[in-house]
Amino acid sequence: MQTDPNATTEERTAEASLRPARLSEYHGQPHIQEVLATAIGAARARGEVLGHQLFYGPPGLGKTTLSHIIANEMGAEVRITSGPILRTPNDLVGMIATLRAGDVFFIDEIHRLPMITEEVLYSVMEDFAIDVMVGKGSEKKSIRMPVPRITVVGATTRLGSVTEPLRDRFQIVHRLDYYDVQTLVRILHRSASTIHSTLDQYAAMEIAGRCRRTPRIANRLLMRCRDVAFMRQEPRESDAGAWVASNPAIRHEDVLQTMKMLRVDELGLEEMDREMMRAMLRDYNGGPVGLKTMAALIGEPVNTVEDAMEPYLMRMGLLARTPRGRELTEAGRAHIS
């Protein structure tokens, strides 16, 4: 279940409601929690703005959530944007103008920031100022305007694509890794409680094993399992005469039914993953296959394969990256046979 850019407003609202608001509520990434707790505590004690932070790792592991947590812990607001949106320096200036001292400015996909905008961001991060051009013709000149002292938080799935000058301006660089099953189970129980449902341990373990070790996907699967459990219930008649159903207890059999319906297998692979692997085996004897060819096999953009599919397949030992291209491993061949 990949990140869906076309997710409905209801789905996005549901995802946001499941986000922890404080570090104490956040499960997983203990090394990042320790570093952030120390940095935030020290900044608050000194009455300073938190230093700029850069998070990198596969999608859905908590980069946006951590930006909200930083803002909450610092008693500030967060403004969210992304690299492709900041096409010109004026776009950046317009957003900076809405911020107050101490606020968090979160830039997702920061590796896609245009160079002309990135260069303006340097002075925002280092000098808390922006150089703007005023006047026309021979009277045109540059004026340095102060901006609020803010915390810039960047997020990327491709650290290598972030330019070195930009990367060096972040005080701390955090690497987010996939979550273990035990941590995901804790996250799922918390999320179930948030949506006023219950989740038995076998159901939680089943979802945790099929969510690609990713909290965002775990929560989305949980919502779909709740739908199945909801439809399984016997409705009862309300005082007004309408038939209603209460928030359900999600059982192991509900999860299995949901996974069958969504075609998510025991390793968390979706039909798109299996289709690509089958095509690699059928047309190229398992590889080596170039990245663009892999994307063409399933009609998806290259970045979808590279950012959302390949890292997990490699982590599960189903796909290997070689100098000549990607190859299915013996485990990968066996899984789709």
Q: Name the catalytic one among 19, 216, 220, 224.
A: 216
Q: Is 157 a catalytic residue?
A: yes
CB 197 within 8 A of CB 229: yes
C-alpha–C-alpha distance, residues 150 and 104, integer Å: 6
The token pair at 226 is 């709740």
106 pairs with which residues across the strands? 80, 153
Residue linked to tokens 């996907």? 217
The residue annotated as part of the active site, out of 63, 210, 212, 224, is 63
Burial of 335 (0-12, 13-18, 19+ CB in 10 A): buried
Tokens (6 digits) for 139:
């009277």
Token pair for 327: 């190859």
Is 13 catalytic? The answer is no
Partners of 320 in the β-ladder: 327
Per-residue DSSP letters for 301-317? -HHIIIIIIHHHHHHTT
Phi and psi dihedrals of 81, rounded to 5?
-145, -170
Q: Pick the catalytic residue: 151, 156, 157, 183?
A: 157
Nearest-angstrom CA–CA distance, 89 and 96: 11
* Active-site annotation holder among 65, 79, 108, 151: 108
- Pairwise CA distance, residues 75 & 266, whole Å: 42
Burial class (CB in 10 A: 0-12, 13-18, 19+), 58: buried
Q: Which residues contact 274 (CB under 8 A, 6 or more apart)?
A: 265, 336
Active site residue 64: yes
List residues with catalytic annotation. Answer: 63-64, 108, 157, 216
